[in-house]
Amino acid sequence: MRALITGAGGQLGLELIEGAPPDADLVALDRNTLDIADEGAVGDAVADHKPDVILNAAAYTAVDLAEEEFDRADAVNAAGPDFLRDAAAAGGARLIHVSTDFVFDGAASEPYGSDAVPAPQSVYAKTKLRGEMAVLENPGAVVIRTSRVYSRFGRNFVSSMLDLMRTRDELQVVDDQIGSPTSASGLAQVMWRFAGRSNLTGLWHWTDSGSCTWYEWACAIQAEALDRALLIRGVPIHPVSTADYPTSASRPAYSVLDCSRTIAALGLPQRPWREALSTMLDEMVAPPARPKPSADKA
């Protein structure tokens, strides 16, 4: 299987490279070698590399900044997937795309199924919804909604919390927004499973199991990091409300995703989110020696 990975320099892209099947022939393109918002470049890349599958890990994820940078967020999150869909169709490639739990308004009190009606509340969420709708115009494509993705690579909530815990005397973290942390490593495994299952198409959900608030997640990060000497001291973490911590973009109060359909289709159980967090922090202490498939980054 020849696979083209877009956004290959980000946390999910790097996990896709590390977790690729041993026989995968990879073309890994980061944002410096392929801007998915450039229609011509997308078409040329797919025509030149002739992939069997395109794994789109490229996205504009600055949720608050998107309120000011609508054009760039829309170009990457909406137009880019549209261009990838057209290029994939022209080249006979299968497209697997990642979307977000933020497409929901958070008014629910039980996990959102993939058939739930989206109601995005921010620029970021609206551009992501447009992107998934564009991809799904190709009946053979796959869209996977996920949430709170993190990895030992790149910048994310875990790395940000660790930095703040090392430099601040105390923290305030929102305690009334509930979602499911998701290991990028586990998400990459799911994407590779879909890549090998051409009979599975359409819209799916995937996160690690369980849910928590940002505050609960921060407390778990600190406890697990102290156990591994990634932190030399603990700091007080105070729960605050969304109203006490205003942001430019609105975020859903509840965005847990129902992944039961994906579990049944792939035969792949979810990992509890705290177990997956522990594994990732272990990898920060001692990065695993994994055999890497060859990847053409040109």
Model confidence at 296, pLDDT cuts 50, 70, 90, reads low
Alpha-carbon distance 136 to 139, whole Å? Answer: 6
Which residue among 60, 112, 124, 254 is the active-site one?
A: 124
The domains located in the chain, with CATH, are: 2-296 (3.40.50.720)
Q: What is the pLDDT of residues 28-83, one digit of tens each?
A: 999 999 999 999 999 999 999 999 999 999 999 999 999 999 999 999 999 999 99
Name 150's bridge partners: 183
Q: What is the pLDDT of residues 265-295, one digit of tens each?
A: 999 999 999 999 999 999 999 987 654 444 4
> How, if at all, do strands 178-179 and 212-213 pair?
antiparallel
Short-list 240, 257, 225, 94, CA closest to 157: 225
* pLDDT exceeds 80 at position 252: yes
What are the percentages of helix, strand and coil residues in the chain, rounded to 5? 40, 20, 45
The yes-or-no answer on residue 215 being catalytic is no
Q: What is the pLDDT of residues 188-241, one digit of tens each?
A: 999 999 999 999 999 999 999 999 999 999 999 999 999 999 999 999 999 999
Model confidence at 261, pLDDT cuts 50, 70, 90, reads very high
Specify the 3-state DSSP secondary structure of 4. Answer: strand
Model confidence at 161, pLDDT cuts 50, 70, 90, reads very high
Q: What is the pLDDT of residues 36-50, one digit of tens each?
A: 999 999 999 999 999
3-class SS letters over 205-227: ECCCECCEEHHHHHHHHHHHHHH
* pLDDT exceeds 90 at position 108: yes
Short-list 246, 244, 222, CA closest to 233: 222
Short-list 209, 205, 245, CA closest to 101: 205
Alpha-carbon distance 166 to 234, whole Å? Answer: 9
Q: How many CB atoms lie within 10 A of CB 280?
A: 21
* pLDDT exceeds 80 at position 297: no
Q: What is the pLDDT of residues 165-178, one digit of tens each?
A: 999 999 999 999 99
